[in-house]
Amino acid sequence: MKVASMFSGCGGSDLGLVGGFHFLGKEYKKLPYEIVFALDNDAKAVDTYNRNFDVPATLADIEDFDIKKIPDFDVLMGGFPCQSFSTVNPTKNPFDKRGKLYKRMSKILDEKKPKYFIAENVKGLVMLQGGKIFDEVIKDFAAQGYVVKYKVFNAADYGVPQKRERVFIIGIRKDVAFNFQFPEPTNSQFGTDNNKWIGLKNVIDSLKPKDPKYYFSKKAVEGMKKAKKNMKRGLAQDLENPCLTITSHLAKVSLNSRDPVLLVDKKKELYRRFSPLEAARIQSFPDQFEFLGSDASAYKQIGNAIPPVLMWHIANALQIQAKKENKAYGGHILPKKAKRNNVAYPL
């Protein structure tokens, strides 16, 4: 299936779609997807994308790009910008310029009518303003002629060493004979050795790196100790469990924030941030994936990405079920008069 990737970033979602990589000793086989078009407005992310994929991404603003220039495709993929839908600042206007970008995806669906689409966003989108905003997003997608399903995923449940919760929205064109079912979790918080959550220790080679730039100063530690008790302070991670969600501002991680950090030496009160390599591993990128630009740019690209391993499981479920349905109907889609409900189905 041919894929058009919007808001492609450095390519986390796209790597998961095409597969063909290893992570923590496990193979994620190649999947029958071909990226035929990718677009993002971050120059450094596009540089990284183009280093790692055969089809180069286009550097452009999706609002200005001519949809007619996008080649034909079967699947539209897009992790549309999520900052406007965060629950951290509930008074913020959710439909600022970035918050409206999902409508551009909707416009592409309207004009190109691919068989399927996959959209991703923060968990907060589902809950914001009592779910009214999410309902509007879902109705907009469905109005383009799609049966829509959604589910909030925790990446840790699928072999990613990170407790990252995101909502995935799957659209199946109404004339396509397909009742999509999301993949079942492969890992569990209370599982056995074979299927339990992946601990952070599996992606940290050494708790004490030699480079001093990753360590917090004594001044920063003292500032943390003086902070108000109701503030998040020094969120040192348990190496036996998955990491808390990492974000795009890892280069500016503070000890007085929600950002996860590592406690290197409790007695010496020695804390540090993650290296770019560690952050990439926490997001389930294989070590062979190259990030271009400065550390700050790499952190931003990594934090904004969709974990490839999580995306692989969703993409794999889609292609398996699509193949079965295609065989069941002899390769034909349902006739236009076939009844389909134009509603969203939470799972």
Helices (H), 27-152: 43-52, 102-112, 124-127, 132-142
163: buried, middle or exposed (CB in 10 Å: 19+, 13-18, 0-12)? Answer: middle
Tokens coding 282: 């926490």
Q: Do residues 235 and 216 make contact, with C-beta atoms less than 8 angstroms apart?
A: no
Of 4, 82, 133, 148, which is the active-site residue?
A: 82
Q: Do residues 31 and 64 make contact, with C-beta atoms less than 8 angstroms apart?
A: no
Q: Do residues 160 and 202 make contact, with C-beta atoms less than 8 angstroms apart?
A: no
Q: Strand 26-28 relative to strand 2-6: parallel, antiparallel, unpaired?
A: unpaired
- Report how far residue 196's alpha carbon sits from residue 159's, in angstroms, rounded to the nearest whole number: 8
Q: Strand 165-173 relative to strand 146-154: parallel, antiparallel, unpaired?
A: antiparallel
- Report how far residue 100's alpha carbon sits from residue 346's, in angstroms, rounded to the nearest whole number: 23
- How many CB atoms sit inside 10 A of residue 172's CB? 22
Is 10 a known active-site residue? no
Angle between helices 102-112 and 132-142 (to 10 degrees): 20
- Report how far residue 214's alpha carbon sits from residue 207's, in angstroms, rounded to the nearest whole number: 11
Tokens coding 229: 């008790």
Query: Over the Cα atoms of the chain, what is R_g?
Result: 21
Query: HSE-up of 38 (CA within 13 Å, CB side)?
Result: 26
Q: What is the DSSP-derived secondary structure letter of residue 240?
A: T
Q: What is the DSSP-derived secondary structure letter of residue 334?
A: P
Kindly list the catalytic residues.
82
